[in-house]
Amino acid sequence: MNQEVFAALSDALAAGEEVALVTIVASSGSTPQRVGAKMLVYGDGRTVGTIGGGCYEDDAFWKAREALKSRRHATVRYELSDDFAEESGLICGGQMEVFIEPVEPAPDVYVFGAGHVGHSLARMAHEAGFRIHVIDDREKFANVARFESGTDVIVADIPEWLATHTLPATAYAVIVTRGHRHDLDALRALAARPLRYVGLIGSRAKVRRIYDALVEEGFEADALRKVHAPIGLDIGAVTPQEIAVSILAELIAVKHGKAASTGGETTSLRWEGAVRS
């Protein structure tokens, strides 16, 4: 049974699909499955494998769905009492502990801008396990020789490329182009998309100008509230390399559910500061 789970897990990761792996990690007394039994739970409700059935498996299923949303693991303990056994139709009276682990493929990071910050971020994020795509219209900067092996480097006009490409909902979009107009064009195409992360480089004054321009165009303010701008964690970064570190730190925080990915308090405060300062 676990072979089937492992095969399904491999297929899901190859397809870029997030799943949650539920594993019995401890048991005592009479339980319907042994330690090591596994169940794979998909975001759409499909399952592969079993940890024994009954209402405790149903409870673990819903907790796995929650783990997929929060991207945080969980350990759950079940006391298979007589009442629990009667309700589930199982004859058992032991204790069981399951570990619920959200598993996702290497996240895609789309770096719009191949200048100094984009180059440093692409290198560091690649080493941190992200799958990197770099898009810039300047072949001098967007060329394979400048980037790590395995980095997807694309020479294209950014708005035109975005008009013909769909990014996965789990993608991270980093806007670090060479100027205000290019940042505006990129954010116009990205802000309303259902992505895990959208970040925009620049000072608060620059962010304010870009936001004001989009609002004047009729852009929904709610779409802008989810944007991480100014981009990166506030670590006092100055150099391109330091800025890249601050951006990567924020990407990692979002990946592990340690920072809001869609308009949390920090992002909202940034928005308020941008439009009022």
Tell me the C-alpha to C-alpha distance, in Å, between residue 158 and each of 138, 185, 186, 189. 10, 8, 7, 9
Say yes or no: 162 and 193 in one domain.
yes
Based on the fold, state whether residues 83 and 173 are members of the same structural domain.
no
Which of 46, 75, 103 is the C-terminal boundary of a domain?
A: 103
- CB burial string 144-157: b at 16+ within 10 A, e below: eebbeeebebebee
CATH number of the domain to which 263 belongs? 3.40.50.720
Question: What whole-number distance in Å separates Cα of residue 227 and Cα of residue 218?
Answer: 17
**Helix, strand or coil for residue 166?**
coil
- Coil, strand or helix: which one is 48? strand
Instruction: Give this prediction's pTM.
Output: 0.76
The pLDDT, as a whole number, for residue 260 is 58
* 272 plus 217 within the same structural domain: yes
DSSP one-letter code for 228: B
How many domains is the chain partitioned into structurally? 2
pLDDT of residue 86: 52
In the chain, the DSSP E strands lie at 19-28, 38-42, 47-49, 74-79, 95-103, 108-112, 131-136, 152-155, 172-175, 197-200
Are 68 and 145 in the same domain? no
Domain co-membership, 161 together with 270: yes
Tokens of 6: 């492992």
DSSP-based three-state secondary structure for 31? coil
Q: How far apart are CA 38 and CA 44, in angstroms?
A: 18
Q: Are residues 51 and 161 in the same domain?
A: no
- Are 232 and 247 contacting, i.e. CB atoms less than 8 angstroms apart? yes
Looking at the structure, tell me whether residues 141 and 263 fall in a common domain.
Answer: yes
Predicted confidence pLDDT, tens digits, the chain (277 residues): 689 999 999 999 888 889 999 999 998 877 777 899 999 999 999 999 999 877 788 899 999 999 998 888 999 998 876 555 555 455 456 788 999 999 988 899 999 999 999 999 999 999 999 999 999 999 999 999 999 888 999 999 999 999 999 998 889 999 999 999 999 999 999 999 999 999 999 999 999 999 999 999 998 888 899 999 999 999 999 999 999 999 999 999 998 877 755 433 334 334 444 433 2
Per the CB < 8 A criterion, the answer to whether 53 and 31 are in contact is no
- The reply to whether 193 and 85 lie within a common domain is no
Helix (H) or strand (E) holding 223: helix 221-225
Domain containing 234 equals 108-276
Query: Same domain, yes or no, for 143 and 243?
Result: yes
Residues 42, 166 within the same domain: no
d(C-alpha 66, C-alpha 70), whole Å: 6
Please tell me the predicted confidence (pLDDT) of residue 266. 39
Does one domain contain both 54 and 123?
no
Report residue 116 as tokens.
């100094």
Mark whether 241 and 112 lie in a shared domain: yes
Write down which residue in 43, 71, 103 finishes a domain: 103
Q: How far apart are CA 19 and CA 42, in angstroms?
A: 5
Choosing from 85, 103, 121, the residue where a domain stops is 103
